[in-house]
Structure 1
Amino acid sequence: MRVFVTGGTSFIGGHVVPKLVADGHQVTILARDPGKIPGYAGLAGVSIVAGSLADDDVIFEALAGHDALVHLALGHGGTARERVVSDTVTTVNLFQSAAEQGLRHIVHTSTVGVYEHRPGRYGDSDPARPTHVYGATKAAGESYAFAIADSYGIRANVIRPGYTFGAPETDGAPIQSMPELPEIVRAVAAGTPVELVRNAGLQFIWAGDLARVYAAVLSSSEPNRRTFTALSPAFITWETVARWAIDELGSPSELSVADEGIREAALTFDVSEIEREFGFAFDAEPKLREHLRYLATAL
């Protein structure tokens, strides 16, 4: 399959692209900086088109001859107006061009941020009710993916990742960690106290496992107009992560855990859809422990 990928030089893209190539797909990446990831130069099955999400003509021409689109890129901006211009408009143009060029499948990257950020349990059948601009932007992209695909008689599916971690998969690829993991590792590596809030935590997914979700959605002939929340099932507290870091690094650090009245696993996500559809039930602990060791050497 010939797959057109936006955001292929991002952290997640640096895992998704090698996985798609390993599965036998031919991948074309849209990249503002074609040389950003040197490892792609020697990766058979990968070609790069120079351009950004705003380059409508470049995108339209480059999409010709492809079978599927994987949209990983996002536009930036702080306000709702900025997000609409940089992300929503460019995403709509991208989907429209893909449909007009005859692509048969759109895979859109959304976020668990489309759900309400309030205590509760949320799953793929729950409606999008975002409480911040980023989530609203991604929810709009979901709607346009389904609407445009339906009007052209093609498939569209949505993946909603949560907290994604991992070391770079390809030479020169970026590393992305939200601030919590590096902050914990820095303190533990230095042997200083780690201050945490009792029961605060979340569900994780290793970037390599997330790449498997993209590959499965792309390769399957069945799902259409579906959303797949992509995380490991287990809720893991930051206190647990810190204890793992202490164990992995052999640190004398002590934990200072404040009780702010948070109920454990107050906000969780049902990920049973990816298990029912693809057999995925990811265990984040082994890769998270490995990533803690990696951060200790990389920071």
Structure 2
Amino acid sequence: MRVFVTGAAGFIGSEVVPELIGAGHSVLGLARNDANAKRLAELGAEIHRGDLTDLTSLRTGAEKADAVIHLAFIHDFSKFEENCAIDKAAIEAIGAVLAGTQKPLLTTGGLALMADGRSATEDDQPSPRLPRASEAATDALAERGIRASTVRLPQVHDPVKQGLITYVVQIAREKGVSPYIGEGKNRWPAAHVTDVARLYKLALEKGETGKKYHAVAEEGVTMREVAEVVGAGLKVPVVSISPEEAQGHFGWLAMFAGLDMPATSALTRKRLGWNPTGPGMIADLKAMKY
């Protein structure tokens, strides 16, 4: 297949592109600047210039492809709602081109606030406390003759980047302390970036309309474990702080820092034959150059 990939030059996209090419697909990668275009050319992808706010470029890219993987998102959490609206508009623009074709469309979601008191499954729906505009848009497209489905991401990591944990490290470095909230027993799911890339390929090739797939290798890494490894790496104190102190330390990240959000990928593994084998979150944090 010829696959149009948004976010192709990003952290995950840079692994997805060679994964697809290695499986015999060709990639048309969205590039918003010269640096991204250069990176994609090095990976063996064809370049398509544009960005998430250029809906014409998104439609044109989708028109040229047999399938679409939508990875791009504007990671400015100070404008989270605005960026979610941009994401929704991008999905709808791509969907307008694919409607009635039965072509695959893979979009990207998250795992926060999917279930309370247990591990979230692929059949769980997002909590009204944190609506997912992208999932809702994707589900609507699944009813318009598109093989649309969603990959829900945990903390995706390697020894350089670790999802939201990257910001945890930055804040600890700036403030000279690595805290966890309360007893630090709240858990975040995780997966190595190469395992996640392989899941996108499998979901593209074997995914079913309307399904949700969890890119979860580790069901839940405790935030106390994370804080202890980060503290050791930065050589700063590791301390417990109260929920009331979290906002002052974490800023915008406080809305996530205390969440317990374990998730399972049992259905994903069964449906797609996905078997993650990459290093764990703690191993990558220990290998990081602080």
TM-score when scaled to structure 1?
Answer: 0.75
Aligned pairs, how many? 272
Post-superposition Cα deviations, 1:130-186, rounded to whole Å, max 9, x if no partner, equal 413xx4322323323322xxx32x4122101122222579xxxx99853124455x4
Say if 1:295 and 1:254 are closer, same or farther in 2 by CA, change over 3 A. same
Please point out which of 110, 115, 139 is paired with 2:135: 139
Q: Would the aligned equivalents of 1:30 and 1:48 in 2 still touch at CA under 8 Å?
A: yes
Q: Would the aligned equivalents of 2:122 and 2:212 in 1 still touch at CA under 8 Å?
A: yes
Q: Distance in 1 between matches of 2:163 and 2:238?
A: 27
Q: Distance in 1 between matches of 2:107 and 2:17?
A: 15
Q: Name the residue aligned to 1:241.
A: 226
Q: Distance in 1 between matches of 2:261 and 2:60?
A: 43
Matches within 5 A, 1:101-250: 102=101, 104-113=103-112, 115=114, 118-132=116-130, 135-147=131-143, 151-152=144-145, 154-167=146-159, 177-183=165-171, 186=173, 194-197=178-181, 198=183, 199-220=185-206, 223-244=208-229
Q: Would the aligned equivalents of 1:168 and 1:175 in 2 still touch at CA under 8 Å?
A: no
Which amino acid is 2:201 matched to?
A: A
Q: Would the aligned equivalents of 2:31 and 2:37 in 1 still touch at CA under 8 Å?
A: no
Query: Radius of gyration: which is bigger?
Result: 1
Q: Distance in 2 between matches of 1:114 and 1:3?
A: 31
Matching of residue 290 in structure 1 with residue 290 in structure 2? no
Say if 1:203 and 1:98 are closer, same or farther in 2 by CA, change over 3 A. same
Q: Name the residue aligned to 1:50.
A: 49
Q: Distance in 2 between matches of 1:88 and 1:253?
A: 41
Which amino acid is 1:146 matched to?
A: A
Query: 1:242: how far off?
Result: 4.1
Which amino acid is 1:127 matched to?
A: Q
Say if 1:79 and 1:231 are closer, same or farther in 2 by CA, change over 3 A. closer
Query: 1:79: how far off?
Result: 6.7
Q: Secondary structure at the match of 1:8?
A: coil
Q: Name the residue aligned to 1:271.
A: 265
Which amino acid is 1:39 matched to?
A: R
Q: Would the aligned equivalents of 2:58 and 2:90 in 1 still touch at CA under 8 Å?
A: no
Query: 1:68: how far off?
Result: 0.7
Q: Would the aligned equivalents of 1:34 and 1:48 in 2 still touch at CA under 8 Å?
A: no
Gaps of 5+ in 1: none
Q: Name the residue aligned to 1:31.
A: 31
Query: 1:120: how far off?
Result: 3.6
Q: Would the aligned equivalents of 1:231 and 1:271 in 2 still touch at CA under 8 Å?
A: yes
Query: 1:106: how far off?
Result: 0.8
Which amino acid is 2:166 matched to?
A: M
Q: Distance in 2 between matches of 1:17 and 1:194?
A: 35
Query: 1:16: how far off?
Result: 1.5
Which amino acid is 1:9 matched to?
A: A
Q: Distance in 1 between matches of 2:62 and 2:104?
A: 12
Q: Distance in 1 between matches of 2:231 and 2:52?
A: 42
Post-superposition Cα deviations, 1:236-294, rounded to whole Å, max 9, x if no partner, equal 112223444577x5x8765334587xxx9953212211221234354675454234423
Which amino acid is 1:97 matched to?
A: V
Q: Would the aligned equivalents of 2:219 and 2:263 in 1 still touch at CA under 8 Å?
A: no
Query: 1:201: how far off?
Result: 3.2
